[in-house]
Copies of this chain bind each other. A is one copy, B any other.
C-alpha cells in the first residue's frame, strides 16, 4: 500500500515521504515561536563533537548560513574548543565538555544542539540536550537501535523541543527532484531501484576507526553508508519497505572487520511491488542510485557525496548550480524552527531508516525474508 498523500502539509516539508500518523504533523515547538527566535536574529547552534565532519563540513557551512550561526561547541579538548570560539567569534564560556554540556540549559545564545559524535553517543547526548531545553539535530544514523530512537523521540515530546536528523540530501536539488517525481507521479511509480554506497575504510595511523567498532558504530557500512541508499529508495518508492532480504559477502579483510560487516547486499520490497537491490561496503568505493518507472528513470552517480553530485532523468541531465548541502539544510531546519513549520528531516525519518536497518541485519543473520516493523 502506498503511503497516503498528506495534502495539508506544505510540499517542501517532505513529510509526504513518511507513513506517519497525523500527530507528528504538528510542530510541537511552534508555541515557542518568539521565545526561541526574534525576527532578524539568527539561531545559535552548538556543535557536539569536533571531528572531521564538524571541521571539514559543518564549520564551513555555518559561515554561510543565513538563519543559524555557530554559538558554542562541546568537545573533549578544551584548547580545540577555544580555538573554535576565537575563529567563530563566540565567548569561551560557550565551550563545554561532555561532563558540563548540560549547562547549555543556562546559555540563551544556544537554541540548537547538533550531535556529531559516534553513533553510540547519539541517544544519550540527544536526550541530555533536549532536557536542557534545546532543539536537537542528530547525525545519521539516528541511534544504535529503534528502541533508542523511540527514547529520543519521547524525550523530544516531553521537552517540547524539536528533534531532527542530519539528512543533508533533503537540501540537494537532485534529491528534491526525486521526491518531486515520486510525489507528482510524473513517470509513474518507481518499481525498480538499484543502489550502492560505500568506501574503503582503512585503519588510521594503525588504529581501528570507530566506524569499524560495533560498540561505537552500532554496525558497519549499512549503518554509515547504506542508510543513504535506504533513504533514497524510500524517497523513490514514496514509502518504507515492508520486507527485506540480505546477505553478507565473505570478508576480504576479516582481521580488520572483526566487529562489523564488510560488504552487505540486500533487497527491499515495497507494498506497491517496487523492489530495491542494494549494496553497501567498507571495501569498495561507490555511490550510485537508479530508479526506473514505466515512463521514465532517475539516476545519480555520485549520488550521496557532499559535493559534485551528478545525475540525469529520462528527460535529460539534471543541472544545478553547486551548493553546500549542509548550509542549505541547516537553514531549512532553522527556518522551520523560527516559523513553527514542520521540519524537513524529522526524527521519524531517522527511526524509519533504523527499522529498515534492523530488518536487514535480522535477514542477514536469519537468511530469511524479514518484515520491516513500522
Q: Which residues of A contact B (CB under 8 A)?
A: 290, 297, 299-301, 308, 310-312, 314, 316-317, 319
Contacts and interface: CB of A to CB of B under 8 A. Distances in A.
Contacts of A314: 314
Contacts of A311: 317
Contact of A297 (B290, B308, B316): B316
Contacts of A317: 299-301, 310-312
Contacts of A297: 316
A297 B310 CA distance: 18
Chain multiplicity (copies): 2
Nearest to A296: B314
Contacts of A290: 316
Nearest to A312: B312
A314 B300 CA distance: 14
A299 B315 CA distance: 10
A318 to B, nearest CB: 9
A290 B319 CA distance: 13
A312 B301 contact: no
Q: Which 6 pairs, one residue from A and one from B, show the smallest C-beta to C-beta distance?
A: A312-B312, A299-B317, A310-B310, A299-B316, A312-B317, A301-B319
A106 to B, nearest CB: 49
A365 B287 CA distance: 50
Contacts of A301: 317, 319
Given A301-B317, A310-B317, 11 more contacts: A290-B316, A297-B316, A299-B312, A299-B317, A300-B317, A308-B308, A310-B310, A311-B317, A312-B312, A312-B316, A312-B317
A311 B301 CA distance: 11
A311 B319 CA distance: 10
Nearest to A314: B314
16 contacts: A290-B316, A297-B316, A299-B312, A299-B316, A299-B317, A300-B317, A301-B317, A301-B319, A308-B308, A310-B310, A310-B317, A311-B317, A312-B312, A312-B316, A312-B317, A314-B314
A319 B297 CA distance: 16
Contacts of A319: 301
A194 B316 CA distance: 13
Interface centre among A308, A316, A317 (most CB of B within 10 A): A317
A134 to B, nearest CB: 41
A316 B317 CA distance: 9
Nearest to A292: B316
A290 B316 CA distance: 9
A308 B312 CA distance: 15
A317 B310 CA distance: 9
Contacts of A310: 310, 317
Interface centre among A290, A297, A312 (most CB of B within 10 A): A312
A319 B300 CA distance: 10
Contacts of A316: 290, 297, 299, 312
A279 to B, nearest CB: 16
A288 to B, nearest CB: 8
A284 B119 CA distance: 47
A311 B311 CA distance: 8
Nearest to A302: B319
Nearest to A311: B317
A174 to B, nearest CB: 11
Contacts of A300: 317
A300 B300 CA distance: 14
A116 B341 CA distance: 59
